[in-house]
Structure 1
Amino acid sequence: MNPNLRVKTGFTAIEALVVVAIVGLLFALLLPAVQFAREASRRSACANNLRQIGVAIQQYEGTTGVLPPGSNGLRAYSAHAMILPYIEELPIFNSINFSSFPQESNRSNRTSIYSKINLFTCPSQPALEMPNVPGVNYAGNTGISSLKPNLEGLFSQGRNQAITFSSIRDGMNATIMFSEITSGYVQNSQSSFRHRVVFSTIGVYSGDDWPGDLLRECNSMDINSQSQISAKKGGYWIKGDYSETLYNHLNNPKLNSCKNQSLVDSGIWTAGSEHGPFVHSLFADGHVSRISENIDPSIWKAIGTRSGGELVSEDF
């Protein structure tokens, strides 16, 4: 053997670059799959949250004989606040001073107002930019009217009305109880996703055709028109009001929400999610379905009423 021959050990620079390129390619191929699996897990957890809320509402109705009100009398506490004892959150329920208002300025309720309830937030929701805002991603269906009180759905705003499961004439498997909403208290929300905010229309609509006129202007609102944004959505689970814990079926999921300019008692508040082109909805019988953002508007309205008499197929 020639002692002057050198045996190569290790990698050349070209070989190292090839290895790095292969690893990078594998990483690029695997990353979307990992992200998809994570989002699938988050979607599953989100739907399961709705199922647990449904069980709590059924237990509440079984105990009291009625569904929890969407807005508890003059103090305007949400259905979420009413079902706390049924989701193992009795200490927070007991901390609420129901004789006072659920406002941030109310010191007697600060503990409950700022408490985050994991069951009320979807794992797909981006982190909130304001640490004192607990966030809420599920809202009660009030029906298809834009006026308060709204009495066609399963929850009412502006009146402590007793609604029961027996009052559902359209079938519990065809009547939505809760749907997802998105929170606007995330970074850059006003320039990213229109379904996270509430616009205020330029016109004030009234008369026989005003819901349609309101809807047309609402859907023409430009997300970049910052001056027309009047509120963010999904902030406080304790408040029984639109943009917080209530929504209606006037507009398809993930489309614009709008207040009827200065008329605080009328408007359009939509369902929405961070999952893609659909939202999860909880039906009165307890099952959860994915509802496409492209659902026929007439069907979306039909499954938003409890006794409208509409016939809806099961494959919507």
Structure 2
Amino acid sequence: MHTSQNVDGRRSYRGFTLVELLVVIAIIGVLIALLLPAVQQAREAARRMQCTNQQKQLALAMHNFHDTYGNLPAGSYGNGAPYNYGRDSWSWYGFILPFIEQNAMYEQLNFEEKINGAATRGGACRKELLGSMLCPSDDSKIQEEGVDNWQNALHNYVVCYGDASFNSGVDPWNVVDGYAGKAGMFVPEKKAGLKDCTDGLSNTLLFSEIITPAAENTWSSLGRTQVAMGAGFTTYLTPNADANDRTNRCHTNLGGNLGAKCTQHADWDWGANVVAARSWHPGGVNVALTDGSVRFVAETVSLNPWRWLGSRGDGQVIGEY
């Protein structure tokens, strides 16, 4: 605001000129443009921290389960005799509910029947979007469309089934493209203990993340954490890999610029999957190691160390990654 002195001593006032206003607006626009990326980075840092803390809580739940029963839950339950649930077998998820403060949900479960196929099976476990299983960086939180008998909520945190492929229990559960992988801390139908982790707890993956689809248009194994066929990932592909996942059915859009990111294998068992760890965190994924620690692994990690992290007993020296 400019002032001037009149002859009679009084001050007169005039407003900003149009040019001055435009200059001010331009300066404000530049400041906003400079600050916006910093604000977005701060928000993502907070989301990633929350994701880290949630994986720590899940790792702690697994350790508490192990302290109680002497082993981790099996990667799948019920696909072998006498149940033979096949694609509708249970995963590890239902068994740890009491250890993540979801005892009421756990009390609804009956492991003597398969999880899918009736509206009452699985209770809230099957259809509830549980906040502690959702990474805040992934904004596509979905409960599957379809009839109640088959709906599942989709979650972000999945366990490591080794370094190749996995299914809900049909042999060979760990072979892809002729590559016979090695077991992770979770395998179909068998329980592992911490003593089975001969590579060392700090050198073996427990959890990581996957991206839930932005548009859910089919039932797929991806993120159906409650069901064994959707409860895991493997280290066959590096984090956020350019190569496609391989599942029995494919979602057409994971969001962003990813598209389907999937190759459909209709001849595979429903549970046979190559699913890479993926996240919307820039540059990599959060992982929980079997010792309970959580760290960020860059998507540029070399393939061999990443695969070795997926195995609990390959005897490889991983080094820095």
- Identify the TM-score tier after normalising by the shorter chain: 0.7 to 0.9
Which digits, 9 at most, give the CA deviation of each residue in 1:179-202, with x for residues without a partner? 111111x14x89xxxxxxxxxxxx
Q: Distance in 1 between the 2:166 and 2:159 partners?
A: 15
Pick aligned residue for 1:183 from 202, 207, 212: 212
TM-superposed deviation, 1:6: 8.0
Aligned to 2:240: 254
Aligned to 1:307: 313
Q: Distance in 1 between the 2:122 and 2:302 partners?
A: 42
TM-superposed deviation, 1:5: 8.9
Pick aligned residue for 1:8 from 13, 21, 39: 13
Aligned to 2:228: 240
TM-superposed deviation, 1:102: 2.2
Aligned to 2:129: 116
One-letter identity of the residue aligned with 1:95? Q
Q: Which runs of 5+ in 1 are unaligned?
A: 191-228
One-letter identity of the residue aligned with 1:141? C
Alignment of 1:60-75 (within 5 A): 60-74=65-79, 75=85
User: Runs ≥4 in structure 1, deviation > 6 angstroms?
Assistant: 3-6
Alignment of 1:72-87 (within 5 A): 72-74=77-79, 75=85, 76-87=89-100
TM-superposed deviation, 1:127: 3.0
Q: Distance in 1 between the 2:33 and 2:268 partners?
A: 51
2:163–2:183: 8 Å Cα contact kept in structure 1? yes
Q: What TM-score does the superposition give when structure 2 sets the normalisation length?
A: 0.76
Aligned to 2:185: 154
Alignment of 1:1-316 (within 5 A): 1-2=6-7, 7-74=12-79, 75=85, 76-103=89-116, 105-128=118-141, 134-146=153-165, 148=167, 149-150=173-174, 152-157=183-188, 159=189, 161-184=190-213, 186-187=214-215, 231=220, 233-234=222-223, 236-241=224-229, 244-255=230-241, 256-259=244-247, 260-264=265-269, 266-313=272-319, 315-316=320-321
Q: 1:104 to 1:138 in 2, by over 3 A?
A: farther
Q: Percent identity?
A: 29
2:246–2:273: 8 Å Cα contact kept in structure 1? yes
Aligned length: 270
Q: What TM-score does the superposition give when structure 1 sets the normalisation length?
A: 0.77
Q: 1:257 to 1:310 in 2, by over 3 A?
A: same
2:127–2:143: 8 Å Cα contact kept in structure 1? no
Does 15-24 or 302-311 show the bigger shift? 15-24
| Secondary structure of the corresponding residue to residue 303 of structure 1 | helix
1:141–1:155: 8 Å Cα contact kept in structure 2? yes
Q: Distance in 2 between the 1:37 and 1:83 partners?
A: 32
2:203–2:289: 8 Å Cα contact kept in structure 1? yes
2:165–2:236: 8 Å Cα contact kept in structure 1? yes
Q: Which runs of 5+ in 2 are unaligned?
A: 1-5, 80-84, 146-151, 168-172, 175-181, 248-264
Q: Distance in 2 between the 1:312 and 1:282 partners?
A: 16
